[in-house]
């Protein structure tokens, strides 16, 4: 697995089934294979991950689908990182484990920071609501904030951002078996309308506008014991989670990453280094420098990728040479003819005849 791909748990199917969502329809709208979840390991790029979420909202016609999904989170929806968090002794420890492992199941990162209370700072004391009332957290001198960050490009769907924040709150409730209320839950563009209402009913408080995407809990809630704590199960899961992280951190060469990005960008005619750099979350200068360190250039990788693709398409008699030119990002077939002759010393027609 590369740093540009993230695992999608097969448990997603069970969660969507609980909500009555037609999974094949969602996959079709997202442009993903309908047998996707039959694979033992489902790995998606951020763009595919986001497309799946957008398709989910489109097929259900429900902008608040994220609130429904968060409300159905349970230990039965098995994901090793989630289960490992539930094995933690309390919310603070669960947050720290999630910060390490969350990127295994989505294109995002999670950071955990302590929050001090001051006259102008965060006001804690919301505590926990139960059937008999509110257990106040007043008098504590700090809390914990979980901040979610995403790759720079492409941007995540707003509904997915809201869901991730709600997921954190529901995890706290699942572990403590109490209606934990955060002291603050912020994102740059909170959901409004019916979606905003659904999240407010689920979480017991509204989202507020903020520069960060974060959830803050009082110190009392951060240290409230998880009734699901299980240190023995954590020791069982930890080695496997570490192995998965090692796979995720096994970084491909920059040349390989450029080649993978070009496979997606070429049919759209986006063949320039800045476009590829944006896809890889790098500056054009950094991209060129890393390629130089590997003894190559962007143009060299582009030419080799195009030549390999050209031979692939020319082996298919149902694809015309003009279509091959288009698929390789050329505006005119004549430009492809000249480039192919420069690369191979022959013409596309001669290459096709030799292959057949």
32 located within any domain: yes
- All residues at 6 or more sequence positions from 262 whose CB lies less than 8 Å from its CB, including other chains: 271, 276, 301, 302, 305
The more confident residue out of 134 and 14 is 14
Separation of alpha carbons 39 and 26, rounded Å: 17
Residue 131 has pLDDT above 70, yes or no: no
Q: Return the minimum-mean-pLDDT range out of 118-132, 160-174, 224-238.
A: 118-132
**Residue % of the chain over a pLDDT of 70:** 85
User: 1 lies in a domain?
Assistant: no
Q: What pLDDT, in 10s, does the model give residues 35-55?
A: 777 666 677 888 888 999 999
Predicted local distance difference test score (pLDDT) of residue 139:
37
Same domain as 225, residue 155 = yes
Cβ-contact 175, 88 below 8 angstroms: yes
CATH code, domain carrying 345: 1.10.10.60
How far are the Cα atoms of 51, 77, 117, 160, 341 from residue 72, in angstroms, in the given order? 22, 9, 33, 15, 58
Residues 166 and 286 in one domain: no
Looking at the fold, whether 39 and 185 belong to one and the same domain comes out as: yes
Alpha-carbon distance 219 to 127, whole Å? 9
Q: Is residue 326 part of a domain?
A: yes
Average pLDDT of the residues in 309-328: 87
Write the burial class of residue 200 (CB in 10 Å: 0-12 exposed, 13-18 middle, 19+ buried): middle
265 and 350 inside one domain? yes
Among 207, 170, 178, which Cα is nearest to 72's?
170
User: Do 230 and 333 lie in a common domain?
Assistant: no
Question: What are φ and ψ of residue 258, in 5° steps?
Answer: -65, -40
Residues 237 and 272 in one domain: no
In terms of domains, do 260 and 152 share one? no
Domain endpoint, select from 247, 278, 307:
247
Query: Considering 247, 279, 305, which residue would you say is the last residue of a domain?
Result: 247
For position 76, what pLDDT does the model report?
Answer: 60
**pLDDT for position 104:** 73
Q: Same domain, yes or no, for 187 and 128?
A: yes
R_g of the chain computed on alpha carbons = 24
Give the separation between CA 291 and CA 244, rounded to whole angstroms: 27
- Let me know whether 106 and 14 are in one domain: yes
DSSP 8-state class, residue 41: S
Q: How many domains does the chain have?
A: 2
Tell me whether residue 321 is in a domain. yes
Tens digit of each residue's pLDDT (9 = 90 or more) over 56-80: 999 999 999 999 999 988 766 656 6
CA 30 remoteness from chain centre: 15
Band (pLDDT 50/70/90 cuts) for residue 7 is low
> Is the pLDDT reported for residue 251 higher than 70?
no
User: How confident is the model over 112-138, as a mean pLDDT?
Assistant: 45
Residue 185 inside a domain? The answer is yes
Same domain flag for 30 and 88? yes
Q: Are 181 and 164 in contact (CB under 8 A)?
A: no
Same domain assignment for residues 217 and 345: no
Q: Do 202 and 266 fall within a single domain?
A: no
Mean pLDDT of all residues in 167-189:
94
- Enclosing domain of residue 283: 254-355
């Amino acid at each position: 697995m590369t740093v540009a791909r993230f695992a999608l748990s097969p448990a997603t199917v069970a969660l969507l089934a609980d909500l009555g969502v037609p999974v094949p329809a969602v996959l079709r709208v997202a442009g993903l294979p309908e047998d996707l979840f039959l694979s033992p390991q489902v790995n998606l790029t951020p763009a595919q991950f986001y497309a799946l979420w957008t398709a989910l909202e489109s097929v259900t016609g429900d902008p608040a689908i994220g609130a429904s999904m968060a409300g159905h989170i349970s230990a039965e929806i098995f994901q090793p990182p989630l289960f490992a968090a539930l094995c933690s002794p309390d919310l603070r420890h669960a947050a720290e484990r999630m910060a390490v492992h969350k990127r295994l199941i989505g294109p995002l990162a999670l950071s955990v920071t302590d929050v001090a209370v001051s006259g102008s700072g965060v006001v804690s004391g919301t505590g926990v609501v139960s059937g008999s009332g509110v257990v106040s957290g007043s008098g504590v001198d700090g809390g914990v904030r979980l901040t979610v960050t995403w790759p720079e490009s492409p941007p995540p769907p707003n509904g997915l951002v809201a869901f991730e924040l709600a997921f954190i709150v529901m995890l706290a409730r699942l572990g403590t078996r109490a209606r934990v209320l955060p002291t603050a839950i912020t994102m740059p563009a909170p959901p409004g309308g019916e979606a905003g209402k659904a999240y407010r009913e689920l979480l017991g408080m509204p989202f507020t506008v903020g520069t960060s995407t974060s959830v803050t809990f009082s110190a009392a809630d951060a240290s409230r014991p998880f009734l699901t704590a299980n240190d023995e199960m954590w020791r069982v899961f930890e080695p496997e989670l570490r192995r998965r992280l090692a796979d995720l951190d096994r970084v491909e060469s920059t040349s390989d990453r450029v080649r993978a990005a070009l496979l997606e960008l070429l049919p759209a005619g986006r063949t320039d280094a800045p476009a590829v750099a944006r896809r890889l979350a790098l500056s054009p200068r950094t991209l060129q420098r890393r390629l130089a360190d590997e003894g190559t250039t962007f143009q060299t990788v582009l030419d080799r990728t195009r030549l390999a693709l050209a031979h692939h398409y020319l082996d298919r008699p149902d694809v015309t040479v003009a279509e091959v030119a288009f698929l390789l990002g050329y505006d005119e077939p004549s430009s492809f003819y000249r480039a192919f002759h420069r690369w191979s010393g022959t013409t596309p027609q001669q290459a096709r005849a030799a292959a057949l």
